[in-house]
Chain A
């Protein structure tokens, strides 16, 4: 009998309201079955509508690296793919606020969980290096807001 044929043990426990809720999966390897469970959990945590080549996709908010407004159009950037959103940046900023997103410039809202490191740029600005290697600029005006959010 293969390991994947065995039913998983399911453990649910109550935690203190101050703690963040979490789902932890113990597995022998990350296969299709685990990916499916992960996708399901992400889908229950909020989605955004994204469009590419005329098709609409439901994108888990947690998968979005950053959102950018370019010439009155709004784009959702994932690890490798880009989707267009029909919503304005300020609307998406409100929707994603509880998912640890923060405005870092006039045109960019970034997912803090996807930021790898921060380094200086010119003129009092900073550069966010994301976990997929991309870099986005933090305007001087938004640095204090970022600091406050990180300090909680």
Chain B
């Protein structure tokens, strides 16, 4: 029971951290896609709400993806791919459901999917670079630890 409580606490913390990364990513994506497709568009104050709402919507798959066992690298990559597909599907449905399919709409949809992929790759590349430095430091500490024990 206590273990499950700790697990959910950590899981929620992780989802919250990812939520803020996603909101930042959406802001960047809206800026880039907007500059490409509608550079003259004027937006109201409600535009500030959209990244927050879309961030919350796209956090749902991560919130529901519960890992009972520690995933292997392959499983983690597979999970990321599923996440990208789900997030893209949710975003496109929320934003454009019921709208008439035009060439411009398809181009915007492609832009959104590419943005989701770019944000996911970017987040993983940045954390990989940071983790590589941490791993190197841990390995050095490990060697020093083993040398100390072995005299």
Contacts and interface: CB of A to CB of B under 8 A. Distances in A.
B70 A122 contact: no
Given A118-B139, A146-B138, A124 B131 contact: yes
Interface string A120-144: 1111111100000000010111010
A117 interface: yes
B80 A151 contact: no
B28 interface: no
Contacts of B132: 119-120
A108 B72 CA distance: 13
Interface size bracket, B side: 20 to 34
B72 to A, nearest CB: 7
A150 B138 contact: yes
Interface string B68-96: 01101100110010000000000000000
A149 B70 CA distance: 22
A137 B77 CA distance: 14
A112 to B, nearest CB: 6
B138 to A, nearest CB: 4
Contacts of B142: 112, 115, 117-118, 150
A64 to B, nearest CB: 16
Given A105-B70, A152-B145, A118 B151 contact: no
Given A118-B142, A122-B77, A122-B128, 12 more contacts: A19-B151, A108-B70, A117-B139, A118-B135, A118-B139, A121-B73, A126-B135, A141-B10, A149-B145, A150-B144, A150-B145, A151-B141
Interface of A: 19-20, 22, 100, 105-108, 112-113, 115, 117-127, 137, 139-141, 143, 146-147, 149-152
